[in-house]
Amino acid sequence: MDLTEKLILGKYAIFEEKERAFVTSPSVHEILEKHEVSKKEICGIIRGKPSKKPYLGQLLNSTIDVDQLDYLMRDSYYTGVAYGLIDLQRLLRTMMIYKGNLAMMRKGVSVVENILMARALMYSSVYFHKTVRIPELMLSKALEGIPDAEPFEFFRMTDAEIMVSLKTMGQFQQEIITRLKYRDLYKQAYTVSLFDLEKEQLKIVKQLEDVSYRRQKERELEDAFDIPAGHVIIDIPRPELLRAEPRINNTDIRVIDRDHVKSLDEFTPIAKAIRSRIAPDWVFMIISDEKYRKKIAKKIQRVFFS
């Protein structure tokens, strides 16, 4: 949100100074000023501050907000999966403002069901699929290893610029980018689902939700198995999922049925089922280079859980 707020207020420029001369399109804050829209009010809505028009915030962040509709349909199209197909026109026809809040007509419940199912399936089949997750973890590891890195600077870069920047750094960053380029990915050395963990083991995994502690355990594993730095990555996906997409368990929306406000749960069991669904197949995963995988898999149970 800090970056978004700076962009809206005009305190952070997307373009570098030398690029500005070639760009004629106005920035976000310039567009808002032109149309006399309060930038502070926009920031307040994004932050979820109380408003006289609650539906404005709900359009940006709710069960069926515009952000989710955009990324579900866009990502479904570009990945070639059919999960994100949404009847947008019917959604718009059955959506309404009721006493200042976003609501759905009774006949629009089936569209909301479709959106909730699309969201759940996209997370389990695309965003948190191991074939997508592993290269993401590798790239994150490469970025973390940059000394004195300024996170905001990466927002200015395209994917290609980031790849070139990391490659020219040499060492570990160059190795990771080269491996991503030729799809020489790390492999699963160990993975376990929530239902396979005993109570004491779950406590150990819970500790790994702390990033600094997780990095410490990665280094310990590398030392224990004589593996080069950066070649062991521990993934605890659930907390990250909730940070990246806190709406994943949000299935509540007002449904107007004969002038009565009701909960979505009164019309469909899907909402409740999705709230109890866990998107990633694993709660704890260790990935590493193929040549270290067997070594880790053989002893990891004893190292972590004994």
**CATH number of the domain bearing residue 180:** 1.20.1250
pTM of the entire predicted model: 0.82
pLDDT of residue 85: 79
Q: Are residues 180 and 290 in the same domain?
A: yes
295 lies in the same domain as 153: yes
Domain that holds residue 199: 130-241+282-305
> Per the domain annotation, does 266 fall within a domain?
no
Number of structural domains in the chain: 2
Given a contact cutoff of 8 angstroms between Cβ atoms, the answer to whether 112 and 102 are in contact is: no
**Does residue 64 belong to any structural domain of this protein?**
no
Asked if the structure places residue 300 within a domain, the reply is yes
* Tens of pLDDT, residues 154-171: 777 888 988 999 999 989
154 and 295, same domain (yes or no): yes
The answer on 292 and 144 residing in a single domain is yes
What pLDDT is attached to residue 300?
84
Cα 270 from Cα 165, distance rounded (Å):
45
Give the three-state DSSP class for 87. coil
Query: Mind listing the pLDDT tens digit for each residue in 33-44?
Result: 999 999 998 999
Question: pLDDT below 50 — which residues of the chain?
Answer: none
Give the per-residue pLDDT at 260: 92
The pLDDT value recorded for residue 61 is: 85
Closest CA to 119 of 61, 71, 66, 80: 71
* Burial class, 147, CB count within 10 angstroms (exposed 0-12 / middle 13-18 / buried 19+): exposed
